[in-house]
């Protein structure tokens, strides 16, 4: 289905005569280019909601080779239709709109913005993942293609986030528990396991963040846990099983920082004894600046009882 874009009407009218002339003779090259007139997975979001990072899973890559498209500057493989069609409300904030990819493969990103302009990125933040930040992004429709540099496909996550106008890439230099992560609920004696992409763009070693940690995490927590303890007789344990050298950072119910790097081989573990009820923000990071798949385990148990299963 095609969609009409109010902010693109002048662009479309200017091309009307050309479109009529080509109605019966579409050049072969046009079949080799991404088509913003098609829809991807639809997302509606505003600048205030996106102040906290919003994550959307996607399969990166596709059969279309951008090198064969002579109207767009970029390299890599995408689908013809966008991966996402995003309706964005700027709420007159003047915020910059940040698009970034989290994945274990070499990703690329292509955006057709609210004014019909094209934007492309391959590698950013010292990684093989793509990132683009559009300054003072206006309300409108943004089509986003999440691709791969090579012909293979892979699982990835698109992250949308807004920043104050003019904030440079990497402006988030310390982890910020106030941003919140994916919400978890846990009571005494219960446990939970969650998949997560470990790592991020905040370098704990390079910034004086007061966490006592090192390595790389995201600015926002990966998870925000709301824990209800029956009594002070219960311990709360966090553990990670990762495919690379992972680390754990936790901001506890009284805003204290807990950090661990290697506990079981290259995997971290943190145990908070007599854990209080309240909010716990959790970051799953990496020692290096690469990303990898991991699983977070959270367990509440009584000391001397059965040991939680990692």
pLDDT in tens, 188-218: 999 999 999 898 888 887 777 889 899 999 8
**pLDDT confidence of residue 52:** 83
Q: Give the lowest-confidence range in 16-20, 136-140, 161-165.
A: 16-20
In a domain, 185, yes or no: yes
Question: Which domain covers residue 275, as residue numbers?
Answer: 177-301
Report the percent of the chain where pLDDT is more than 70: 85
- How many other β-carbons are positioned within 10 Å of the β-carbon of residue 92? 9
Average pLDDT over residues 13-26: 37
- How many domains does the chain fold into? 2
Strand-pairing partners, residue 158, are 56, 101
**DSSP code at position 116:** S
8 in a structural domain: no
pLDDT (tens digit per residue) in 280-292: 999 999 998 788 9
pLDDT band at 170 (very low <50, low <70, confident <90, very high): low
Q: Give the model's pLDDT for residue 132.
A: 94
Picking from 112, 141, 163, the residue at the C-terminal end of a domain is 163
Last residue of a domain, one of 163, 193, 209: 163
Rounded to two decimals, the pTM is: 0.55
């Amino acid at each position: 289905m095609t969609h009409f874009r109010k902010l693109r009407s002048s662009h479309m009218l200017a091309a009307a005569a050309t479109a009529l002339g080509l109605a019966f003779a579409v050049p072969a090259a046009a079949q080799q280019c991404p088509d913003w007139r098609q829809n991807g997975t639809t997302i509606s979001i505003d600048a205030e909601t996106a102040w906290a990072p919003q994550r959307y899973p996607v399969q990166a890559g596709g059969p279309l080779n951008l090198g064969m498209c002579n109207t767009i500057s970029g390299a890599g493989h995408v689908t013809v239709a966008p991966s996402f069609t995003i309706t964005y409300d700027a709420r007159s904030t003047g915020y910059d709109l940040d698009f970034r990819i989290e994945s274990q493969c070499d990703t690329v990103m292509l955006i057709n913005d609210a004014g019909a302009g094209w934007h492309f990125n391959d590698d950013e933040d010292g990684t093989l993942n793509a990132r683009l930040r559009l300054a003072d992004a206006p309300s409108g429709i943004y089509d986003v293609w999440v691709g791969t540099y090579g012909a293979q496909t892979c699982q990835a996550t698109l992250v949308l986030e807004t920043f104050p106008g003019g904030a440079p890439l990497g402006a988030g230099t310390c982890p910020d528990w106030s941003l919140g992560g994916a919400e978890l609920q846990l009571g005494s004696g219960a446990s939970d396991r969650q998949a997560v992409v470990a790592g991020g763009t905040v370098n704990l070693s390079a910034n004086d963040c007061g966490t006592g940690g090192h390595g790389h995490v995201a600015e926002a927590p990966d998870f925000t846990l709301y824990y209800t303890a029956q009594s002070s007789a219960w311990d709360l344990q966090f553990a990670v099983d990762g495919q690379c050298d992972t680390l754990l950072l936790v901001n506890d119910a009284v805003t204290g920082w807990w950090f661990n790097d290697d506990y079981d081989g290259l995997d971290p573990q943190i145990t908070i004894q007599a854990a209080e009820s309240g909010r716990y923000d959790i970051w799953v990071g990496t020692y290096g600046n690469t990303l990898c798949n991991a699983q977070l385990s959270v367990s509440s148990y009584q000391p001397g009882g059965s040991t939680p299963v990692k």
